Amino acid sequence: MKFAGCSGLRGEVTVPGDKSISHRSVMFGSIAKGITEVHNYLQGADCLSTISCFQKMGIEIENRGDVVLVHGKGLRGLTPPAEVLDCGNSGTTTRLISGILSAQDFDVTLTGDASIQKRPMKRIMEPLSLMGASIESVNGNGCAPLRISGRRLHGISYPSKVASAQVKSAILLAGLYADGETSVTEPYLSRNHSEIMLNYFGADVRTEIEDAAGTCGSANTVELPGQPQPAGRATAVIRPAKELHGNLVEVPGDISSAAFFLCAGLMAPNSEILVKNVGINPTRAGILSVIRDMGGDITLLNEHAGSGEPTADILVRSSSLHGTVIEGAVIPTLIDELPVIAAMACFADGTTVIRDAAELKVKESDRIAVMTENLTAMGADVTAAEDGMIIRGGRPLHGAVIDSHLDHRIAMTFAVAGLCADGETEILGAECVNISYPQFYEDLKRLLILS
């Protein structure tokens, strides 16, 4: 697919439902009693993999497009699948479902595509094994396929080396079934959709955040939009559940998908874009802080909360941007947005430094290497680091042939960069956006100002 420099972008766009929340709504609805009604469920390949896995375990799920109905059977209602569960390209499906399956009374094998079979699973295998689970890598390399034999679990207190919502969520989901309390301590608070939704479905989850002085405070409720994330260690604690109960879930627009339009509106000249109904949970909305730090013209409108998640319309306009430093506690709140932030930094005056983001190397691709390779091909001054990148902005970008490495975030990033560069940009493997945003290119094209 090819893109050429544009005169600007104007209009409104509504992005698909949040991927993280969509996954969880089907997972939690499947192990809850009664019907869970999900509005604005993301119809991307990853979330469809989650639906497929639970259907194969006996859960009736009606996917009507605009609404998904999950007929939950309770914590012990899953049945043994007749085949291997295929998680496709979805790391969220693979890791979170492992926590649930570790406590069932049957055996199952999980697999996925070539990318999933290279992504690290030891980070969930270790804590789940400590809880008594039987989980092994079929090929002995710490990756999928995973063979899981359900066992009786016991609670643990687990110090996680990384601030990862997927690791935390896998442990908490296993903790629903375990004897005694289960806790996970992270170096920083990662996205907390699991904690919010589990409580919404009737579980007992609490979070404590340790500040610089070592004092712990409760974080059971979602902070107000715009408040900074606490910088101390975060511990989530879950008690065993007798039952979860089906609920109505309103999925907000995915801020990771909105990010491409936000950055495009800031980078491209003569642009003004309103992105409607976006989730702005502070554990996900670090990009908003970075945009402000870089001098971006951004406004939140119509702020409200639905199903426990804060939501707003976001307005951006073309801006004179400057470099910044992105590090520390903000990294888990924008890890999926860092590729497009790196592209935006090329259009900013001065230097932008991204550090503490080694997690980028184990995403759908090694995003540090892939971003450095492709931005350099477009004429950017970018240096890869072990845990991030250094981007020296202010140099015009030119078109190039871009290898997406079949990574949806990379393809979308360079579609946006291509619209802001001189000449023509061709993206190889552009169809991989179907993983999270099947209508992305159509929505982007609709915003183009026709010269």
Please give the Cα distance from 77 to 7 (Å, whole number).
Answer: 55
Please give the Cα distance from 252 to 420 (Å, whole number).
Answer: 28
Indicate the length of the chain as a whole number. Answer: 451
325 Cα distance to chain centroid: 22
145: helix, strand or coil:
coil
Neighbours of 31 (CB within 10 A): 27
Closest CA to 198 of 251, 247, 147: 247
Query: Residue-wise over 353-371: b if at least 16 C-beta within 10 A, else e?
Result: bbbbbebbbebbbbbbebb
**Radius of gyration for the chain, computed over Cα atoms and rounded to the nearest angstrom:** 21
Give the residues across from 424 on adjacent strands. 4
Q: DSSP state, 164?
A: -
Q: Is 390 exposed, middle or buried (0-12, 13-18, 19+ CB in 10 A)?
A: middle
Per-position DSSP letters for 262-310, written without gaps between them = HHHHHHSTT-EEEEEEEE--TTT-HHHHHHHHTT-EEEEEEEEEETTEE
CB 294 within 8 A of CB 324: yes
Note if 107 is an active site residue: no
Q: Is 218 exposed, middle or buried (0-12, 13-18, 19+ CB in 10 A)?
A: exposed
Tell the residue number behind the tokens 């789940």, with chain if given: 128
Cis preceding linkage at 145, omega within 30: yes
Q: DSSP state, 359?
A: G
Neighbours of 216 (CB within 10 A): 14
- Counting DSSP H helices and E strands in the chain, the numbers are 12, 24
Query: Catalytic residue among 18, 86, 313, 336, which?
Result: 336
Closest CA to 97 of 424, 43, 238, 81: 81
Neighbours of 77 (CB within 10 A): 16
> What amino acid positions are annotated as catalytic residues?
336
